[in-house]
Amino acid sequence: MIELVGKVGSMALIDKEKKNIDYNVFAQISMCLRPGYVWVSSGAAEIGRLDYMKRSSMELTGDDEENKTDYAAQGQSILMDNYRKYVNSNYNIRQFLVEHQHFNNTEKREYLREVLERAAAQNAIPIINYNDAVSDAESRKLEIQSLIDSGKETVECVDNDETASQIACILKCKRLLILSSVDGIFLNPEDPKSLIPRITGETVQDLLQNVDVYRSNCKSSSRKGAGGAAAKLEYIKEPLKNGTMVIIASSRYSIDDILRGLTPQTRIGLTSEVG
């Protein structure tokens, strides 16, 4: 049984002032991970960029999509090495690189569900990332458009918020935790005192309508290419339909404390579940 699907954003893993990996955040997250958790981790491209700059004293100057591919290929091993360094040594960790095809194909979705559930029974923690290193944007768009034209419901998964939400749907987990560089969803993104502690509804329909109301206030993102809070609120609709409770919180806090409700956060779900 999968207790939790969690996701951490790229910038939540970075110390902006030092322009380096935030090892304290890596350690804090990793020490809370255990079998029964599935962890979706962004960060490969940004970590690869920082590593390239450290070794070359410059950034890549090519096409943005090509740069992302090259940075991700460089950062992926560093990302996993840090998880292995800090996760309890009694636990196995397993890397899974996924693409949109794994969610848009019934057989592949089922296979992914089986392998992730099997990991929990084998004392292993899956670490999942979108496979930026081999994903060509133009080819992906053509493949996605072909699926749309055929009338199929389509998942693109170019954002790990969407990836985590789709993983939560496949596993029908009880909770989906999304960690970011901020404390949750804000009524006014410019006002740190306007944190929304709960978004609820008596029925799924009421809940989704309330999510849309708050989504209309969200316009910012933490980095180029990210969808920000608005994208998070859109992607989590599918797991909410399955009865999954969603928690959005800052990576500054311990996962255990967040799950206990001891930190600032936004909890989203049916009133009967969230309270």
Question: Whole domain around residue 160: which residue ranges?
Answer: 4-274
Note down pLDDT in tens along the chain; length 275 residues.
799 999 999 989 999 888 899 999 999 999 999 999 999 999 999 999 999 999 999 999 988 888 989 999 999 999 999 999 999 999 999 999 998 888 888 899 999 999 999 999 999 999 999 877 666 555 555 455 555 556 666 666 668 899 999 999 999 999 999 998 899 999 888 898 999 999 999 999 999 999 999 988 776 544 444 457 888 999 999 999 999 999 999 999 999 999 999 999 999 999 998 86
Query: Hey, what amino acid is at 240?
Result: L
Give the model confidence (pLDDT) of 147-162 as tens digits: 555 666 666 666 889 9
Length reported for the chain: 275
The pLDDT value given to residue 81: 97
The pLDDT value given to residue 158: 66
Q: How far apart are CA 78 and CA 22, in angstroms?
A: 13
The pLDDT value given to residue 219: 60
The pLDDT value given to residue 181: 86
The pLDDT value given to residue 223: 43
Q: How far apart are CA 215 and CA 233, in angstroms?
A: 6
β-strands 4-8, 20-21: how paired? unpaired
Q: How far apart are CA 114 and CA 111, in angstroms?
A: 5
The pLDDT value given to residue 6: 98
Q: How far apart are CA 177 and CA 6, in angstroms?
A: 4
Cβ atoms within 10 Å of 17's Cβ, excluding its own:
7
The pLDDT value given to residue 224: 44
Locus of tokens 């998070």: 232
- SS3 readout for 74-85: HHHHHHHHHHHH
Tell me how far CA of residue 256 lies from CA of 30, 136, 220, 253, 267, in angstroms: 11, 37, 28, 8, 15
Q: What's the structural domain count of the chain? A: 1
Q: How far apart are CA 133 and CA 199, in angstroms?
A: 36
The pLDDT value given to residue 226: 46
Domain CATH for 128: 3.40.1160.10
User: What six digits make up the tokens of 97?
Assistant: 């690189």
H or E segment to which residue 138 belongs: helix 137-149
Q: In this structure, what is the dihedral angle of CA atoms 103, 64, 42, 188, given to the nearest 10 degrees?
A: -100
Give the model confidence (pLDDT) of 174-229 as tens digits: 999 999 889 999 988 889 899 999 999 999 999 999 999 998 877 654 444 445 78
Mean of the per-residue pLDDT values of the chain: 89
Q: What is the full DSSP assignment across 228-262?
A: HHHHHHHHTHHHHHTT-EEEEEETTS-HHHHHTT-
